[in-house]
Amino acid sequence: MVRITINGVEYQVEDDITILEACNRLDIPIPTLCHDERLNPYGACRLCLVELKGKNKLEASCTTKVRDGMEVETHSDKVVRTRREILDLLFSNHPEDCLTCEKSGDCKLQDYCYEYGVEKGSYLGEKRDYSIDDSNHFYTYDPNKCILCGKCVRVCDQLQGTSAIGFENRGFKTKVSTPFDMGLAKSTCVSCGNCVAACPVGALLPKRKIRYRAWEVKKVKTTCSYCGVGCQMYLLVKGNQVVGVEPAEGKPNNGLLCVKGRFGYSFINHTDRLKTPLIKRNGKFEEASWEEVYDLIVSKIKESKAKYGPNSLAGLTSARCTNEENYLFQKMFRALIGTNNVDHCARL
């Protein structure tokens, strides 16, 4: 443990953590745009700068470790002035279209500009003017809104392991891009959307069938039903419709999802979706209750087993079930029915 003073108050914190981590644990708010604790320290947005006693230069709290006796000012005049100027610089090179931007209400740039009183970008110079890449089925990339925090690039590289996107050009002309700027559709992108989830602004946005504002939706935490991993996610519900999905922090998925969980939610409200079991009677499917269906299954199994023996039966289970469910299924086949004829779709 080390003793550090933050804004005049002395604290004891663990050693070998950064100032930002210490402040997060102590509930001292520090703005960040490029920080993500799942990723290697990056230090690009410079919003988390703090003043250290005895140092003229400001230090990024996300990349500076605490030291015994350190005296930190997180909101001194100089720090606040610098943060305001950084936000001004960012906003000066950003479309001022918050009114129609899909990200409004969930945008960190918007939040911090509000917090630090930056009403508009005061530098009336050159602004980026790139075309929007909407070649991907599920999301769009607007380089003009990008603040180059690099989260998307790093998530794709360090967490997703796909490395479909990277930076091109230098300085003011820097842009997140695919190899040879061929567009997302022609890249190695697997459409997992983890970049979209990491984007703090409106540069990467999911394509929406139904428009909604961040404050209009209710977030319902659930487990993804596509496979047995058990990824945690939020269903975004507007009225009684699921309008989107966002990854949630959870042990199995570390805030990540795959393309199915992230974007494959339209079946939920689909008119063709089966909502009750069906039994074929006289060549036609008819709706039935679960009790009826289970009775029918049990009787058929018993009948076949008695007539032809247990090996006349085989069970095939699904990757959409959890590990526990799959375990129980094979247990039922082996112990109850008495056959080893059991398999799983993931093997096919």
Partner 1 sequence: MITVEELKKIRENTLKKMDLKLHKLQEEILDKEGALNKKLILICGGPGCHSSNVEEMKARFEKRILEKGLIHVEVSIAGCFGLCESGPNIEVYPEGIFYSRVKMDDIDEIVDKHLCENVVVERLLNEGAIESGKIKHVSQVNFYNKQKKIALRNCGIIDYNDIKEYIALDGYQALAKAITEMTQEEVINMVKDSNLRGRGGAGFPTGRKWETAFKYDADQKYVICNADEGDPGAFMDRSILEGDPHSVLEGMALCGYAIGAEQGYIYIRAEYPVAVERLKIAIKQAKEMGLLGRNILGTDFSFDIELRLGAGAFVCGEGTALMESIEGRRGMPRPKVERTAHKGLWGKPTIINNVETFANVPPILLKGADWFRSIGTEDSSGTKVFALGGKVKNTGLVEVPMGTTLREIIFDIGGGIEKDRKFKAVQTGGPSGGCIPEEYLDTPVDFGSLSKIGSIMGSGGMIVLDESDCMVDIARFFLDFTVDESCGKCVPCREGTKRMLEILERITAGEGRAEDLDRLESLAEIITSGSLCGLGQTAANPVISTLKYFRDEYEAHIYDKRCPAGACQALLEFYITDKCIGCTKCARSCPVSAIRGKVKERHVIDTEKCIKCGACMEVCPVGAVIKR
Of residues 33 and 184, the one with the C-beta less far from partner 1? 33
Of residues 41 and 183, the one with the C-beta less far from partner 1? 41
Cα within 13 Å of Cα(172), Cβ side? 9
| Distance between first and last Cα of the chain | 54
Which position among 4, 28, 72, 148 is part of the footprint of partner 1 (CB under 8 A)? 148
Binding of partner 1 by 78 (CB under 8 A): yes
> Per-residue x/- marks for partner 1, 27-56, CB under 8 A?
--------------xxxxxxx-x------x
Residue 243 CB, shortest distance to partner 1, in Å, is 33
> Per-residue x/- marks for partner 1, 293-332, CB under 8 A?
----------------------------------------
Residue 308: DSSP 8-state: H
Which position among 30, 58, 159, 224 is part of the footprint of partner 1 (CB under 8 A)? 58
Find out whether 48 and 67 touch, Cβ atoms under 8 Å: no
Which position among 6, 13, 60, 164 is part of the footprint of partner 1 (CB under 8 A)? 60
CB proximity list for 75: less than 8 A, separation 6 or greater: 7
Give the position of tokens 């050159």.
Answer: 126
Neighbours of 141 (CB within 10 A): 26
Residue 21: DSSP 8-state: H
CB proximity list for 47: less than 8 A, separation 6 or greater: 31, 32, 33, 83, 86, 87, 112
- The piece of 4-12, 162-170, 222-230, 333-341 that touches partner 1 (CB under 8 A) is 162-170
Which position among 6, 90, 236, 256 is part of the footprint of partner 1 (CB under 8 A)? 90
Beta strands in the chain (DSSP E): 2-6, 9-13, 49-52, 59-60, 71-73, 139-141, 166-168, 175-177, 204-206, 218-223, 232-238, 241-247, 278-281, 284-287, 315-317, 342-344
Which position among 11, 52, 65, 116 is part of the footprint of partner 1 (CB under 8 A)? 65
Of residues 71 and 343, the one with the C-beta less far from partner 1? 71
Residue 150 CB, shortest distance to partner 1, in Å, is 7
Q: Is 151 helix (H, G, I), strand (E, B) or coil?
A: helix
Neighbours of 22 (CB within 10 A): 23
Of residues 35 and 262, the one with the C-beta less far from partner 1? 35
Binding of partner 1 by 179 (CB under 8 A): no
Residue 32 CB, shortest distance to partner 1, in Å, is 12
Residue 40 CB, shortest distance to partner 1, in Å, is 8
Distance CA 203, CA 149 (A): 11
Binding of partner 1 by 172 (CB under 8 A): yes
| Contacting residues toward partner 1, per CB under 8 A | 18, 41-47, 49, 56-58, 60, 62-65, 78, 82, 85-86, 89-90, 92-93, 123, 125-126, 147-148, 150, 166-167, 169-174
